[in-house]
Structure formats: C-alpha cells, structure tokens
Chains A and B, each alone.
Chain A
Amino acid sequence: MAQSEQELLEQLSERAYPHGFESDIEQEIIPKGLSEETIRFISQRKNEPEWLLQWRLKAYKHWLGLKEPKWPKLTYPPIDYQDISYYAAPKSAPVLNSLDELDPEIKSTYDRLGIPLEEQMMLAGVAVDAVLDSVSVVTTFKEKLAEKGVIFCSISEAVHLYPELVRAYLGTVVPFTDNFFAALNSAVFTDGSFVFIPPGVHCPMELSTYFRINARGTGQFERTLIVASEDSYVSYLEGCTAPKRDENQLHAAVVELVAMDRGEIKYSTVQNWYPGDKDGKGGIYNFVTKRGLCKGVSSKISWTQVETGSAITWKYPSVVLQGDDSRGAFYSVAMTTHLQQADTGTKMIHIGKNTQSRIVSKGISAGRSQNSYRGLVKIRKSAFKARNYSQCDSLLMGNRCGAHTFPYFEIHQPTAIVEHEATTSKIAEDILFYCTQRGLSRESAIAMIVNGYAREVLDHLPMEFAVEARKLLAISLEGSVG
C-alpha cells in the first residue's frame, strides 16, 4: 500500500514536469570556474578566430567590473560564478550530415521531448536547430533553406562559414556593456542559432531551436543572432527544457534581432525550464537579454513569449524602433506557481517617426509565487507621432501569491500618443460555478479560463506551438490551485 502510494506520488510529480529526465550521454565538461583561461579554452575548443577571442576577453574584463542588478523584484541567494562549469558538450562529434548520424541517446532525448526531428517536420514546415547544453547538435532542413539562400545554422558554424556576417552584427543590438548578464554571456557563450534571411525572401518554413540543459553543474549561455534583410520575413521559435535537479542552474542567454527595410521577424518563445519543486528547491535561474533592432524603415519585430518554467525569470524582450514607420510588439504570458519568481516585461524605444509599438502582457500567479511586469516605453524627441498601446493584466489564484506592475514612461515628443491599461483579477467563484455546473471539473475549468485569458497572446504563436502552449499552461497549473 505504502509503496503504491509512493509510486503514485512519483508519477504525479513526474507529470508536473514531464521533461525532468536526464540523458546518459558522454559529455565533455570542463572544470568549474571562470577566468581568462576558461574563455581561451572555449574559444580554442571552438577553433574561433582571434577577433572573437579578443571580443570575449574584452567582455570578460568589462564584466569583472560589474555587479548583478539589484532592482528586480527577485530574491535568490548569491550566485557563485566560480561554481559553474562553462562548457559541456556531447563527446561524439556534433558535425553531422544527416539525422542518421546523430548519437542515438541524443536522438532519444529529443524524441522524449517530443521534438519531431523526423521527416514529418517537413510536412509541419519546421526546421529545427537543437542545442544540447553548450553545443548545437543538429540543424534540419539546411538544404531546403539553402535553396532560398536562407542561412540557419549554429552560431559556432556561422563564425566559420560566414565570419563577415557574424562580425558585422554580433553585439550591435546587445553590446557586452549592456548589462551584467549580457557581458557574462559575451565572454562565455558557447552556442546558439544564427539566421540570415536574404533580401526579398519569405522564409519558407518556421525556424525553430530547441534548447536543452542536460549536464549537471553547468550553465547554459547561448547566443542567437537573426538578421532579416530588406523585404524579408522569418518566423522563429525557441523551446526550452531542463532535467529536474536539486541545484539551481544558470541560464544567461542573449538574443539579437536585426530587421532591415521592410524586413519582419516574428520571434516566439515557449520557455519551460525546470521551475524547481513545490518548496522552491532547484530550478533554472533564467537571466536573459533579448532585443530587436528595427533598423530599416517599415520594419517589424514581434516577441511572443509563453513563460511557465524557471525558478527565476529576468527577461525583457525589447524593440528599438529606429527606422521610420517601424513596428514593435510584445505579447507575453508569464505564469508562476509554487515559489517561482518572474520579473519580466519589455522595453519599446521609439526613435524613428511614426513608429508604433504594442504591449500585451498577461501575468498569471498561483501558489506562493511572485509575478512582476516591468516595462519601459521611451519616446525620443525624434519619434514624431509615435504611438504605443500597453495592456497589462494580472490574474491571481489564491491569496498567497503576488502580482506587480511597474510601467515606466519617458515621453520626449509631444505628438506621441501613449495608452496604458492595466487590470488585476481573480477567477471569481460564480465563473467557476458556471463551468462546473456544465460538467467541468474545477481544475479543467481553471485551465480553460486561464487559456481564455491568455488567448490574445497565444493567438500570436504559430499554430502547432499554440496547441503545445495551451497544454503547457494547463499542466503547469496542476496541483497548484485549490
């Protein structure tokens, strides 16, 4: 009896985080610690050109003079940056010509994650780059993309194959001086994706990167760079999972987007890093800098994020609206349960004329979690007739969680129009009674109501990922509402 109960409990906790397994893959992991030597090691391992090593070292020196930001509404014990291993890679060489060459164990890891690396991906029209710990393992459908001139590869590969492109854009949107975590990432980043869409090309499929932290005691520092040339379009999606561990693991990524004249980038994230257990033990510390530059006229960048994972989330995907008539958007659902903490939002920096931005943020807090929206709308003097609309909604479940909204506005142009709406609500008993009266359990009623609440954001995700995200929201809530 006791044993079957135990089994049941284990099943339940497994269900609560279905990606919490660990794969037995032979790994090369360097000893913990961060120094110039570490950076030289990484750079050498990746056979990098001298300019990149020098850039890393400059970033590192800058980082040494920085302190972690203290302004977020987050509490966590100090991070020991010497207690992290900065490089972990599967031992079997990751240079592959086809899927058949992939280490079966890695392949099975991705299969268990439900990442369809197989032929059916072709039908779904998705190309996948998979980053395991520090190294990009495989990029599918390179050929099909190559026909259109689309470059989609790991950033390490891009450094070798397209050095002039990488060098032209790396660090131009998020310089290493930007913040503490961006500096750290610039010094030690190991892999990530690189996308280049040539002028006039509408990327024929969704591009997708799946990030997976597997190795123990490591950090993940990926760096992604996407450039959409004149009159091009790309939709890109990243998904993230990690094994269940008692320790906290650091994830400090940088994503840079550049859109030239009339170029458009849609960037979607479904972030489901391990959030820690119900008592707040373990979980990923997610400190991410994401920024897009609408460099050209009438360019467009939108960020859509569904954030359900991580013990701590610190993330403000932003758009710098430099080109006249450019548009930026941020659609976000951030759900926190148990003891998770999220401080997330966006920055919209209006520089060009007639620039427009839209912010839709939906926070969902349950358990004893803390969920903050923090957003800046800055309209420079040059941004004649700029417009912004912001909507920040918070949904509270139970009375032990917290929802906070920190909107900042800096308006230097009198012709600008800025609107901000905010609501805070609870799921009222009469709404739940209506649903249960129709035959739904309380739990599925709540899942349905939450999905309805988040719908405006989910509708911006590519179809197949929207379905995933809906399930994820429902699963994340299991056992966290009374």
Chain B
Amino acid sequence: MLLEIENLRASIEGKEILKGINLNIPSGEVHAIMGPNGSGKSTLSSIIAGKDGYDISGSIRLDGQEILDWEPEIRSRAGIFLAFQYPVELPGVGLSSFLRACVNERRKYLGEPELDASAFLALMREKAAMVELSQELIRRPVNQGFSGGEKKRNEIFQMAMLEPRMAILDETDSGLDIDALRIVAEGVNKLRHAQRSMLVITHYQRLLEYIIPDRVHVLMDGAIVMSGDRTLALTLEEKGYDWIRAEQEVSS
C-alpha cells in the first residue's frame, strides 16, 4: 500500500474537523475525494502534506513508514506532493531557481546526484511542454502575475518536475475554464504511473470526466461516508449530497 491513513483525527482551536478518516491508496491508483464545502477536504490534504497548527491523532503511512512526525519538507522529499488550491506568489523568486532547489532536495534525499544547470534546463523544457506552460512563464518569479489558470498549470508542472510518489490535487479544477481544465487533466493523465498514486480532491464530477479515478470517496462532516467506483461520482452529480445524508439516516 502506498498511502495508508488510519483513524486520522484533526482539530484546530478545539474544533474537530477530521473525525477518524480511514483511507488506503495502492500504488498506481487514482482516488477521488468528493464532498460538500466545509466537509474537511482541504484540511485532509494539508495534513497529509504536513501543515502545522492542528492537533492530530491517528496514523499516516507512506510506503509503510509513519510520517506524522515528519516536517513538510521531509514528506515532500520522500515523495508527497500537494497541488495547492490557492498557490501563493513568491515575489522576486525565479521559478526555475526555486524548482531547481526543490528538485535537487528530492534527488539528494533519494541518493541521486544533483542536476546541473543544463540537465535541469532540459528537464524543465520537457515538462513545461507537457503541461503547455510557456517558456516565458518559467522565467518569471513563482506565480507572480500568473492568471488563475496559469497558477494551476504551474502546480501540475511542478508535480511533473518533482515526480512524486503520492500527488494530492486540492480542487485543482476550481476556477478553471473548460480549456484550462482539459490541459491540466491531460497533464495529470500523462503523469499517471504504476509507481505513483494520486488523490484528486474535487467539488464537482466534471474533473473526473477527464481524470478517470479508480475509486471515489465521499467526505462529509470530517469522515468518509461512502466509497465506490467512478459511477459513484455520477450518482452524486445526479442526486446531490443530500442523497447521501438521507442514505446515512436510513442506515443509522
């Protein structure tokens, strides 16, 4: 199992947001998490990536290793990648020098030699073409002056550069028009790999028409209340989240 989450609970300022999450993602699979606003989707992705400020219990294992005590940078170097819902801007920090430092941190961690400038440049050109990110954007500071769509594409570009084991896409579809969505989804599909798993967090079924998930989980009020194959997403689209609430009431 690539990622195992067991009875994960998280609260912030005394308010419990995740109430015992259990989730297993085998290597090479793409899982989707859907859920209404405020159900804890973004909190879950932040906590897997190691964001500070929560009281946490339970377990998160990557390739069998407990990572809850690891700093975010160690988790990143070990292969966890989070495509942010709202990527920040880094004024004056060139995207290429930023990414070169990041890529080399990951390579060092994996015991691989660092990339020199020309090898890195070649890699960057190749991956930028994959997500149709213009060379002009690569020369700019990270996300500075990028449109909403360009920022999201840049996230996928960085994912391509870092070649993670476990990629989490936090509402990558939000704020994207249909063309941008297609480009992002195609980039993600090209990155699907037997040694890489993905967790796609989304509000809408739309993204899952482009990125076909192996499993779909429904997160409501801090817990996974239903799991199924991709047809679950379609059912949700049709019947809405109230349908699940009703189902739950029946079963309880």
B-binding residues in A (CB < 8 A): 428-431, 433-442, 444, 448-449, 451-456
Q: Does B223 contact A (CB under 8 A)?
A: no
| Least distance between B141 CB and chain A CB atoms (Å) | 6
Bound-state Cα–Cα, A441 to B109, Å: 13
> Known contacts being A439-B102, A439-B162, is A434 close to B88, with CB within 8 Å?
yes
CB contact between B84 and one of A434, A439, A448, A456 (< 8 Å): that residue:
A434
Whether the pair B52, A433 counts as a contact (CB closer than 8 A) is yes
| Least distance between B112 CB and chain A CB atoms (Å) | 13
> Known contacts being A438-B162, A439-B73, A454-B92, is A433 close to B51, with CB within 8 Å?
yes
Whether the pair B92, A452 counts as a contact (CB closer than 8 A) is yes
| Least distance between A439 CB and chain B CB atoms (Å) | 4
| Least distance between B151 CB and chain A CB atoms (Å) | 11
Whether the pair A452, B106 counts as a contact (CB closer than 8 A) is no
CB contact between B105 and one of A434, A439, A455 (< 8 Å): that residue:
A439
Q: Within 8 Å CB of A456, what residues of B?
A: 92
Bound-state Cα–Cα, A441 to B50, Å: 13
Bound-state Cα–Cα, A438 to B87, Å: 12
Bound-state Cα–Cα, A437 to B90, Å: 14
Q: Does B1 contact A (CB under 8 A)?
A: no
Whether the pair B102, A452 counts as a contact (CB closer than 8 A) is no
Most buried by A among B77, B88, B92, B106: B92
Whether the pair A433, B72 counts as a contact (CB closer than 8 A) is yes
| Least distance between A458 CB and chain B CB atoms (Å) | 9
Whether the pair A451, B93 counts as a contact (CB closer than 8 A) is yes
Most buried by A among B53, B88, B99: B88
| Least distance between B152 CB and chain A CB atoms (Å) | 14
Q: Does B49 contact A (CB under 8 A)?
A: yes
Q: Does B76 contact A (CB under 8 A)?
A: yes
Whether the pair B90, A431 counts as a contact (CB closer than 8 A) is yes
Q: Does B126 contact A (CB under 8 A)?
A: no
Q: Within 8 Å CB of B49, what residues of A?
A: 433, 437
Q: How many A-B contacts if CB must be within 8 Å? A: 77
Q: Within 8 Å CB of B102, what residues of A?
A: 438-440
Question: Which residues from 91 to 113 on chain B have a C-beta closer than 8 Å to any C-beta of chain A?
Answer: 91-94, 97-99, 101-103, 105-106, 109
Bound-state Cα–Cα, A429 to B88, Å: 11
| Least distance between B102 CB and chain A CB atoms (Å) | 4
7 A-B pairs closest in CB distance: A452-B92, A455-B92, A452-B93, A439-B105, A436-B72, A439-B76, A438-B102
Bound-state Cα–Cα, A437 to B75, Å: 8
Q: Within 8 Å CB of B202, what residues of A?
A: none
Q: Does B82 contact A (CB under 8 A)?
A: yes
Whether the pair A436, B101 counts as a contact (CB closer than 8 A) is no
Question: Which residues from 140 to 177 on chain B have a C-beta closer than 8 Å to any C-beta of chain A?
Answer: 141, 158, 162
> Known contacts being A436-B76, A439-B77, is A431 close to B88, with CB within 8 Å?
yes
| Least distance between B66 CB and chain A CB atoms (Å) | 19
Q: Does B209 contact A (CB under 8 A)?
A: no
Q: Does B71 contact A (CB under 8 A)?
A: yes
Q: Closest residue of chain B to A445, judged by CB?
A: B73
Bound-state Cα–Cα, A439 to B75, Å: 8
| Least distance between B105 CB and chain A CB atoms (Å) | 4
Most buried by B among A433, A442, A444: A433
Q: Within 8 Å CB of A430, what residues of B?
A: 88
Question: What would be 7 A-B contacts, judged by CB atoms less than 8 Å apart?
Answer: A434-B88, A435-B98, A436-B72, A436-B73, A436-B76, A441-B105, A452-B91
| Least distance between A11 CB and chain B CB atoms (Å) | 22
Whether the pair B88, A451 counts as a contact (CB closer than 8 A) is no
Q: Closest residue of chain A to B87, judged by CB?
A: A434
Q: Within 8 Å CB of A441, what residues of B?
A: 73, 105
Bound-state Cα–Cα, A114 to B98, Å: 27
Bound-state Cα–Cα, A453 to B106, Å: 25
Whether the pair A448, B101 counts as a contact (CB closer than 8 A) is yes
Bound-state Cα–Cα, A451 to B94, Å: 10
Bound-state Cα–Cα, A429 to B53, Å: 10
Q: Within 8 Å CB of B94, what residues of A?
A: 452
Question: Which residues from 47 to 79 on chain B have a C-beta closer than 8 Å to any C-beta of chain A?
Answer: 49-53, 71-73, 75-77
Whether the pair A452, B90 counts as a contact (CB closer than 8 A) is yes
Whether the pair A437, B50 counts as a contact (CB closer than 8 A) is yes
Q: Within 8 Å CB of B101, what residues of A?
A: 439-440, 444, 448
| Least distance between B241 CB and chain A CB atoms (Å) | 28
Whether the pair A440, B90 counts as a contact (CB closer than 8 A) is no
Bound-state Cα–Cα, A266 to B187, Å: 47
Bound-state Cα–Cα, A451 to B91, Å: 9
> Known contacts being A437-B76, A439-B73, A440-B102, is A429 close to B52, with CB within 8 Å?
yes
Bound-state Cα–Cα, A449 to B91, Å: 8
Q: Within 8 Å CB of B87, what residues of A?
A: 434
CB contact between A438 and one of B52, B53, B71, B76 (< 8 Å): that residue:
B76
Q: Closest residue of chain B to A441, judged by CB?
A: B73
| Least distance between B99 CB and chain A CB atoms (Å) | 8
Q: Within 8 Å CB of A439, what residues of B?
A: 73, 76-77, 101-103, 105-106, 109, 162
Bound-state Cα–Cα, A427 to B84, Å: 18
- 14 new A-B contacts, CB < 8 A, other than A433-B49, A433-B72, A452-B92, are A433-B51, A434-B87, A435-B98, A437-B49, A439-B102, A439-B109, A440-B105, A448-B98, A449-B93, A451-B92, A452-B93, A452-B141, A453-B92, A456-B92
Whether the pair A437, B72 counts as a contact (CB closer than 8 A) is yes
Bound-state Cα–Cα, A435 to B84, Å: 11
Q: Closest residue of chain B to A434, judged by CB?
A: B88
| Least distance between A294 CB and chain B CB atoms (Å) | 29
Bound-state Cα–Cα, A130 to B217, Å: 69
| Least distance between A238 CB and chain B CB atoms (Å) | 25
Whether the pair A449, B162 counts as a contact (CB closer than 8 A) is no
